[in-house]
Amino acid sequence: MRKGILFAISAYVMWGLFPLYWKQLQAIPAKEIVAHRIVWSLVFLGIIISSKKQIVRALKTIRKPRIIAIYTCSASLIFVNWLTYIWAVNSGYIVDASLGYFINPLVSVLLGIIFFRERLRVGQWIAILLACAGVGYLTFKYGALPWIGLVLAFSFGTYGLIKKLAPLEALEGQTIEMAFLTIPALSFLIYLETHHRASFGHAGFTPSLLLILGGAVTAIPLLMFSAAARQIPLSMIGILQYLAPSLQFSIGVWVYGESFPTYKLVGYSFIWSALLVYTIEGLRHQQKSRKAMESLEIPPT
């Protein structure tokens, strides 16, 4: 369990710092960046999996229809998440993207109710209602749903759910996901190259190097997240995930100077209050559970 918590914290800190990395590729279209993330992630994962002699095992598993269905869904969700996030970061919407990852913990709670029949306590219901009020307020003031945050929250929340149910180990599962996505991604990159629209190798040494390293930068936190999702409760994953959006929000406002008007402050305050209520309630519940377990322990005779 402690190992799972460490994996989760490391993954979320790396994701929180992602805007600093992807901003260096701002001149390259988001679709091209995502395609390179997929291809180079597969290369990176292929090196790891080959060193552990797991290629044969991975090839055998993808013959099963259930495995194909699970990882096709998870691959599709991570593609949508990546494309939305990179577009948002490089279009000046880091703060809006951080909203998605602030909401995501509560999305995880809702998914836990639906799929694992987890029962919510009063404090958790209050947190969800506060978050809904915040999203509703932002929608009313902005005149449209905060779609960037909602797409990121529900795509990654559902991805976490699928990884919780996935039967394979993190390395094998992620390799299969990238393998499924590599054929269309590589086809797209070849199309760009043949039509003289590709950035890789033409935009300078640094951007090309960053695209290549994007494979490792992408794969490492995903591997840690996948491992964590299999070792710790979904509710704990939700709590630890506050790290990523907090870092992203700070980078958006203080590093890149994105605007944060009063109406966003009010809406975000509802959501931050929801997270505070959820965290305090969770900690108190853990303390009560621990005390209850201690009281049931039989003293030595």
The mean pLDDT value for 202-229 works out to 89
CA distance 251 to 257: 8
Instruction: Read off the pLDDT of each residue in 117-140 and give the average, rounded to a whole number.
Output: 86
d(CA 23, CA 8): 24
- Residue 301 reports pLDDT greater than 50: no
Binned at pLDDT 50, 70 and 90, residue 241 comes out as confident
User: What does residue 117 show for φ and ψ, rounded to 5 degrees?
Assistant: 55, 35
pTM of the model: 0.84
Q: What are the tens digits of pLDDT across the range 165-200?
A: 777 777 888 888 999 999 999 999 999 999 999 999
Both tokens of 103, joined, read 């909401």
Q: Say which DSSP state 252 is in.
A: I
Quote the tokens at residue 279: 């965290």
Cα separation, 114 vs 233, whole angstroms? 15
